[in-house]
Amino acid sequence: MSAYAKKRKVDAESRTFKQIWTTNFFFTKVKGKPVCLVSGEHVAVFKEYNLKRHYETKHAEKYKNLTDAERARTSTDLLATLEKQQGCFTNRDGATRTSFVIAHKIAQNSKPFSEGEFVKECMVESAALLCPEKKEAFENIPLSRRTVTRRMEDITENLEFQLQSEVGSFDFFSLVLDESCVVRDTAQLLIFIRGITRDFIKCLM
> Is the pLDDT confidence value at 40 over 90?
no
Handedness of CA 191, 180, 156, 99 (dihedral sign): negative
- The b-or-e profile of 37-65 (16+ CB within 10 A means b, else e) is bbeeeebeebbeebbeebbeeebeeeeee
pLDDT over 50 at 12, yes or no: no
pLDDT given at position 169: 72
In angstroms, rounded to a whole number, what is the distance separating the alpha carbons of residues 91 and 40?
19
- Mean pLDDT, range 123-140, rounded to an integer: 90
Give per-residue pLDDT as tens, 79-124. Answer: 888 777 665 555 567 888 899 999 999 998 989 999 999 999 999 9
